[in-house]
Amino acid sequence: MDATVKPEGSLEILSREEVMRLRAGGDSGLQDLFRKCALAVLNTGGTEDDVRSVMRKYADFEISIIELDRGVRLELKNAPESAFVDGKMIRGVRELLFAVLRDVVYIGTELTLGKRLDVDSPGAITETVFQILRNARAVRTPVEPDLVVCWGGHSISRAEYDYTKDVGYELGLRALNVCTGCGAGAMKGPMKGATIGHSKQRIRNGRYIGISEPGIIAAESPNPIVNELVIMPDIEKRLEAFVRLGHGIIVFPGGVGTAEEILYLLGILMHPDNREQPMPVVFTGPASSRSYFDMIGRFLEATVGAPARELFRVIIDDPQAVARMMAEGVANVRTYRHERDEAYFFNWNLAIDADFQQPFEVTHEAMAALNLSRDQPPHELAADLRRAFSGVVAGNVREDGIRRVEAHGPFELRGDAAVARALDEVLSAFVADHRMKLEGRAYTPCFRVVA
């Protein structure tokens, strides 16, 4: 489908320098990055989870900037037809398309050119996360605490997906908003359910925030319900955005990406400086998912230790109980921050070590060098386990990770006997339960665990 698209939602004007960078390819330009992220948005509803498969399918897709003194237009050629109805682009897709343009421009010009992403200080990185979210208008004031972050896999069973909708519905009835990784499965279900709950409560301004990053957006295209899309520069800043923006977190069943999120969250909450921080965390799923959470619990005890279990509650097959606990937990967050005169819209006081903030470049050497041993503080082991799962995600869906595995074979993960055994068990279970790929696709592991 060919079309010329006017702005919708954000970023109606570009400077000439910004247009020039968007048109330029190579390391100094933004053309390739913008094209990939734009295609992901236009491919909303697609089922592919292989970045290269998406790129091959739409190899003839082109997007270009039409520069006008009175504004900007986007010219599309050979765009996915699913983005249009009767030849006209769906309004929500158009909003997300210009959200991509906004974030790519901001990250590529305001931040990268100013070298503000090349920082070592945890405080400076947090400042960067805040500025990207503020530029996207995701941080707002005045606002009451009401945002629940929902994590879980895109490759889940129908029963699990329906359950995420039921939980989202109960959240919506309690006037809670939803933030997810913006893709399919457990990222879409809670938003879909919340829209019905909000509608019944006559809430017209429900927020369905999707936070992604360039390396995986093509594999997890934003679902159609997202009405606030934010593209972060890398996975680490994406994860920090979740925990600083949200007031409570729900974890549904998932695969390695969900395991990465769990290790990131628990690693932060286990930090001694965060002992007083209220953060309601619930792991939940239908009755058929009980064994999944039993497995996750065993893995956490064998690696970061039994105290990690005290940081979350498991609720099985009870969407109302999940929503009630979230509502009560969010109310506690409000009381805590009100008493200390802290911001509701961004958790500045959550301590996050540099180990959880610095981008992890996934290479065979880096994966093999991870310290997967219990002979260190639990939150430090959690940081390297998070990197291990992040590397497996890269080998599964990121273009650079897939190419490295094809060229040099599977990544090797080395750890002491207890950690290696637990890691091998949980990864093997993800493969056996088809949580690594969408249904109907054979999976070849991109990893090997060595004790």
What is the domain range of residue 16?
Answer: 3-106
Q: Give the pLDDT confidence score for residue 5 in this predicted structure.
A: 86
Domain assignment present for 65:
yes
Q: Give the pLDDT confidence score for residue 207 in this predicted structure.
A: 97
CATH of the domain at 83: 3.30.1850.10
What are the residue ranges in the chain where pLDDT is below 50? Answer: 439
Domain assignment present for 120:
no
Q: Which of 106, 128, 162 is where one domain is finished?
A: 106
Do 64 and 153 share a domain, yes or no? no
Closest CA to 312 of 375, 265, 373: 265
Q: Give the pLDDT confidence score for residue 399 in this predicted structure.
A: 82
CA dist 65 → 4, 14, 27 (Å): 10, 10, 19
The CA dihedral of 353, 355, 360, 366, to the nearest 10 degrees, is 180
Q: How many separate domains does the chain show?
A: 3
The CA dihedral of 120, 413, 160, 138, to the nearest 10 degrees, is 10
Q: Which of 106, 128, 147 is where one domain is finished?
A: 106
Q: Which of 106, 123, 151 is where one domain is finished?
A: 106
Do 294 and 420 share a domain, yes or no? no
Do 409 and 323 share a domain, yes or no? no
Dihedral sign for Cα atoms in the order 324, 330, 331, 336: positive
Dihedral sign for Cα atoms in the order 234, 272, 344, 117: negative
Do 184 and 333 share a domain, yes or no? yes
Q: Which parts of 15-121 fold into alpha helices (H)?
A: 16-23, 31-42, 51-57, 91-105
Q: Give the pLDDT confidence score for residue 33 in this predicted structure.
A: 85
Q: Give the pLDDT confidence score for residue 25 in this predicted structure.
A: 66
What's the rounded Cα separation, in Å, for the pair 387 and 368?
11
Domain assignment present for 112:
no
Do 280 and 335 share a domain, yes or no? yes
Angle at 380 between CA 377 and CA 385, to 5 degrees: 125
Domain assignment present for 115:
no
Q: Give the pLDDT confidence score for residue 45 in this predicted structure.
A: 65
What's the rounded Cα separation, in Å, for the pair 343 and 388?
33
Give pTM, 2 decimals. Answer: 0.92
Do 144 and 174 share a domain, yes or no? yes
Q: Give the pLDDT confidence score for residue 10 in this predicted structure.
A: 61
Domain assignment present for 278:
yes
Do 322 and 372 share a domain, yes or no? no
Do 151 and 31 share a domain, yes or no? no
Do 335 and 373 share a domain, yes or no? no
Domain assignment present for 350:
no
Domain assignment present for 369:
yes
The radius of gyration of the chain from alpha carbons, rounded to an integer in Å, stands at 21
Do 65 and 171 share a domain, yes or no? no
CATH of the domain at 323: 3.40.50.450
Do 26 and 152 share a domain, yes or no? no
Do 437 and 394 share a domain, yes or no? yes
Q: Give the pLDDT confidence score for residue 27 in this predicted structure.
A: 59
Give the number of other Cβ atoms within 10 Å of residue 66's Cβ: 12
Domain assignment present for 320:
yes
